[in-house]
Structure 1
Amino acid sequence: MSVHEVCEERALAKLWLTRAALPLWTSVGYDAKLGLFHERLGFKGEPIEALPRRLMVQCRQMYVVSHATLTGLMDGRALLETVFAQVVHRFRRSEAKYKWIFSIDPDGSVRDQRCDSYSLAFLLFALAWLYRVNADQFYLELADEVITIFDVHMAAELGGVTDGVPRPDGYLRQNPNMHLIEAYIALYESTGIEEYLGRAKSLYDLFCNHIFLREHAAIPEIHDNRWQVGQVDGAWYEPGHHFEWTWLSRRLARASGRDVAGEVQSLLSRAVIEGIDDSNLSIERVSIRNGERTASRRSWGSCEYIKACAAEAEANPAQREAWAGRAARALGSLRKTFLNTSVNGLWIDRVDRYGAALSSDVPASSLYHLMLAIMESDRVFGTVVPRAYSSKPSAALFLDRDGVINVDTGYPNKPSDISFMPGIADAIKLARNAGYHVVVVSNQSGVARGFMTEADVLNLHRWMANELSQQGADVTAWYHCPFHDDASVEIYKDSQHPDRKPNPGMILRAAHDLNIDLSQSSLIGDQETDMEAARRCGVSPHRFNGDDILVLASKIVLGAR
């Protein structure tokens, strides 16, 4: 049941994101007077205007809008241009020694001129995502400027970075260093520049050698200037950060090929046992010495647990079912405990052990965690056989399923329903041998109509992938859209879901997941909705009328040379 459960919870989470959260936080959550995002909203959905605006929050929200734009959930390009211009205008002081300030007041004046490493890590992260939306060299020039600030003014003695300049105290903290790794990996994935990956690997070495206390299987939040922990008795760890480091470790392994299994096993050994309560929520803090737990739970920690579940399911196919079950339960608890608010699109940031709210308002900064958790669960549990991300963009041949790969028999949902089109295996082999990804993008409204479950679709796609692979025809990834307006299953009822063709969401998601160059890609489909989806994202459309699929694929692939 876990595959079915995670499909339903993933669908509910994505609907919450697309129907409620993104529209709310890019309208009410956006301050048009300043051209920046609000820091917080009240539980009635009203902006809390008197708060200072932090650089970190602006960068997290720019990431959210970038990710949503790249995957077809919205078109945020104009909003991103406006916010980025205001971020540079209001937070960057080109004449100052450290360039970037921490926060401004609502009238635009400087509130706090500290230069903060945590904020700069998220600035690098935002710049990486902005570059993926629009490959403007200015983003990379600013990234190099920020990296120079880290190297010259914030370098810690044994590696990593201090909290900022001026330093708030004499301690070092793992958190900005963790997010700096995340930013460097994002920059590498956006550009393919090896220097960024090298920096991520060096910081990960610091984590392995100093930050992570292997003998206690714990990450202390605070260290001294030599990355030592003076008194373990008073130290704590945050399970959410263990889960975040798990996901980040797998992300680094994906980019570099590094073996991180030992680190991940140790990270999860305590966090899964001590850091998840009976309601499948992540506990805020745990004592390193005796395992004593705080009474509070945070939404972000549960989001990081969902990301860790997705990362482990992807890295360990034999354990995929177990991790899917954990992810389903965590997504359900996230929905029922944190996302259950009177205004849809808001969330509760902190609750007590009984699930009662401890928050008085809604911080914008948490949307970063929610976005990544939902999109990672969607990527891992909503697709079949995605290959590793490549830092070098590649062309793809996108294929509709029913009527192109197999004969359309009317909502086929099991292997006995499938008759492969003559020549399809050879067409896929031809494209793969020519260096193309081959990606299936299929509307599957039979799920919404109650004819099958999403788990049925995923299982069928695994079977089809295996059958084709045995003929040497390896499909890179399979995407499907279960949503439809005429739905008998309520959670799949959506008339304009961004993934449903003629909308290009599935194509855009694949491009994001696999680093596909859409301008060099083509799509073969048998319906006008396929053609329109291709045109909307700059992919060359080709109509298949049931003739010879190999001949058509040959014209596309060989004609492009």
Structure 2
Amino acid sequence: MNTPTLAPLRPQVEAFLSSALPLWFKEGLDSAQGMFVEALSFDGQPLRNLPRRARVQARQLYALGLAHERGEFVGSAQNHAALMECIMKSVTCSYGAPGGGFYTLVSAEGQVLNSERVLYDQAFYLMALAWLYRVTCKASYRDAAERLWIFIETLRDPNSGGFQISDALKPGPRQQNPHMHLFEACLLCAELLGKVPWMARADELYTLLQIRFLDTATGPQPFLREFFTADWQPDPVSGDHLDPGHHYEWTWLLSRYRVLSGAAVPELPLLYTTARTWGTDRTGLAYDEILPQGRELRSTKRLWVQCEVLKGHLAYWRWNGDLEALERAQHVLQSILTHYLTPQGTWFDQLSRDCKNISKNSPSSTLYHLYVALNEALPVLAATP
């Protein structure tokens, strides 16, 4: 097999980023409110009247931090830092809860529409604060991350481990997904704020993956469960609903955890193999949701899922040098460029089974997935001949 190369795709990736980053950090920012809009139209017009999720603000701050790290922001580093701080101040005023944590939803005018404090959102605010510390070097952001963790501890389940999905304590299945992003947040905090105490927190969440989320007993192929009862048994309604994107995402996260902790992470190839054999179609794209053994549940294809496919392939290639994984990364990156991204710097967020656009706009929340995935690919684009 010829050595696969991603280099021919580099001009397309760079051209997209040169359009997307100015667009999302300008048109995607509601300067009057000091926060980001929820979505843009496909031609790049801000949809200002949509309610705004807390996670969108944190994710866009993450993207700003990464742009600063890469030197891709237009303007001086000082102005970049000032913009991030201004947004964080506005977002804290609109979403910040008096008892700690961040509310989940506000209106376009900044009025709280949902005062629930969701674990998923708090994980992304940890990451936003870590990036603010990285960009500004101000200890106040490191301290704010620690205070946010104190609130997160109030969501801990003292009986069966892990955390509740929110402070609302409403009925419903427990979820793997927010714990995964909390693991991601701990890894980023360990990288940007210091390993103590963040690696110990990441270690705990890694153990939760091993003993709760990863099913190694049901069949010959281990897989990642998503939904559980209060005592971490598979939820009777949705316990068999599997997410290929999260299998790939954990593959990438475990590769980062391996570097930071030195752990062997034997789960990495297990999750990758399951995702590749069960959740990916013949085009190399992954379904939104499947059942065990790869039976289709939702054959639509979100863009964020394909971003995690790309990251998973690259992580597996870096883990053991498998050139077939690099070839798969090349293929899925080409599919993202061909089927999802527009010349305006926007995207089609979901495709049908036959790769037709079925989304109504470009949600801001996807920039985080897309920018991180392209950032993972860029060193490979530059290094391959």
TM-score tier, shorter chain, comes to over 0.9
Separation in 2, partners of 1:4, 1:20: 27
Separation in 2, partners of 1:149, 1:234: 28
Q: Which residue of 2 aligns with 1:239?
A: 244
Q: Relative to structure 1, is the Cα distance of residues 180 and 156 closer, same or farther in structure 2, using a 3 angstrom cutoff? A: farther
Superposition map of 1:267-282 within 5 A? 267-282=271-286
Structure 2: state its 5+ residue gaps: none
Q: Is the 8 A contact 2:227 2:238 kept in 1?
A: no
Following TM superposition, by how much is the alpha carbon of 1:267 offset from its aligned partner in structure 2, in angstroms? 0.7
Following TM superposition, by how much is the alpha carbon of 1:14 offset from its aligned partner in structure 2, in angstroms? 3.0
Q: Relative to structure 1, is the Cα distance of residues 356 and 139 closer, same or farther in structure 2, using a 3 angstrom cutoff? A: same
| Letter in structure 1 aligned against 2:37 | H
SS of 2:113's partner is strand
Following TM superposition, by how much is the alpha carbon of 1:98 offset from its aligned partner in structure 2, in angstroms? 4.2
Q: Does 1:146 align with 2:148?
A: yes
Q: Which residue of 2 aligns with 1:23?
A: 22
Superposition map of 1:201-240 within 5 A? 201-215=203-217, 216=219, 217-231=222-236, 235-240=240-245
| Letter in structure 2 aligned against 1:151 | E
Superposition map of 1:127-138 within 5 A? 127-138=129-140
When normalised by structure 2's length, the TM-score is 0.93
Report the count of equivalent residues: 377
Separation in 2, partners of 1:88, 1:131: 16
Q: Is the 8 A contact 1:197 1:256 kept in 2?
A: yes
Separation in 2, partners of 1:115, 1:2: 51
Kindly report the root-mean-square deviation, in angstroms, between the aligned alpha carbons of the 2 structures: 1.9
| Letter in structure 2 aligned against 1:299 | L
Q: Which residue of 2 aligns with 1:13?
A: 13
Q: Relative to structure 1, is the Cα distance of residues 243 and 156 closer, same or farther in structure 2, using a 3 angstrom cutoff? A: farther
Greater fraction of residues in helix = 2
Q: Is the 8 A contact 1:29 1:37 kept in 2?
A: yes
Shifted more, 70-79 versus 327-336: the winner is 70-79
Following TM superposition, by how much is the alpha carbon of 1:49 offset from its aligned partner in structure 2, in angstroms? 1.3
1:335 alignment partner, one of 306, 330, 337: 337
Q: Which residue of 2 aligns with 1:167?
A: 169
Following TM superposition, by how much is the alpha carbon of 1:29 offset from its aligned partner in structure 2, in angstroms? 0.6
Following TM superposition, by how much is the alpha carbon of 1:119 offset from its aligned partner in structure 2, in angstroms? 0.4
Q: Which residue of 1 aligns with 2:310?
A: 306
Q: Relative to structure 1, is the Cα distance of residues 311 and 350 closer, same or farther in structure 2, using a 3 angstrom cutoff? A: same
2:102 alignment partner, one of 87, 90, 100: 100
Identity %: 31
Q: Which residue of 1 aligns with 2:186?
A: 184
SS of 1:382's partner is helix
Q: Which residue of 1 aligns with 2:67?
A: 68
Following TM superposition, by how much is the alpha carbon of 1:156 offset from its aligned partner in structure 2, in angstroms? 5.7
Separation in 1, partners of 2:170, 2:49: 25
SS of 1:292's partner is strand
| Letter in structure 2 aligned against 1:223 | F
Q: Is the 8 A contact 1:159 1:203 kept in 2?
A: no
Structure number with higher relative contact order (C-alpha < 8 Å, ≥ 6 residues apart):
2
Separation in 2, partners of 1:59, 1:16: 22
Which whole-Å deviations, capped at 9, do the CAs of 1:163-209 have from their partners, x for residues lacking one?
Answer: 11113424210111000010001011012232100100111101111
Q: Does 1:90 align with 2:118?
A: no
Following TM superposition, by how much is the alpha carbon of 1:230 offset from its aligned partner in structure 2, in angstroms? 4.2
Following TM superposition, by how much is the alpha carbon of 1:8 offset from its aligned partner in structure 2, in angstroms? 1.8
Q: Does 1:372 align with 2:372?
A: yes
Larger radius of gyration between Structure 1 and Structure 2: 1
| Letter in structure 2 aligned against 1:346 | T
Q: Is the 8 A contact 2:155 2:165 kept in 1?
A: no
Q: Is the 8 A contact 2:101 2:122 kept in 1?
A: no
Q: Does 1:78 align with 2:78?
A: no
Q: Relative to structure 1, is the Cα distance of residues 114 and 307 closer, same or farther in structure 2, using a 3 angstrom cutoff? A: same
Q: Which residue of 2 aligns with 1:252?
A: 257
Following TM superposition, by how much is the alpha carbon of 1:294 offset from its aligned partner in structure 2, in angstroms? 2.5
Q: Relative to structure 1, is the Cα distance of residues 130 and 3 closer, same or farther in structure 2, using a 3 angstrom cutoff? A: farther
Q: Is the 8 A contact 2:248 2:275 kept in 1?
A: yes
SS of 1:141's partner is helix
Q: Is the 8 A contact 1:282 1:302 kept in 2?
A: yes
| Letter in structure 1 aligned against 2:51 | P
SS of 1:153's partner is coil
Following TM superposition, by how much is the alpha carbon of 1:3 offset from its aligned partner in structure 2, in angstroms? 5.2
Separation in 1, partners of 2:10, 2:39: 26
Q: Relative to structure 1, is the Cα distance of residues 162 and 2 closer, same or farther in structure 2, using a 3 angstrom cutoff? A: farther
Q: Is the 8 A contact 1:313 1:380 kept in 2?
A: no
Q: Which residue of 2 aligns with 1:39?
A: 38
Following TM superposition, by how much is the alpha carbon of 1:28 offset from its aligned partner in structure 2, in angstroms? 0.7
SS of 1:236's partner is coil
Following TM superposition, by how much is the alpha carbon of 1:89 offset from its aligned partner in structure 2, in angstroms? 1.7
Q: Relative to structure 1, is the Cα distance of residues 157 and 135 closer, same or farther in structure 2, using a 3 angstrom cutoff? A: farther
Following TM superposition, by how much is the alpha carbon of 1:232 offset from its aligned partner in structure 2, in angstroms? 8.3
Q: Which residue of 2 aligns with 1:451?
A: none
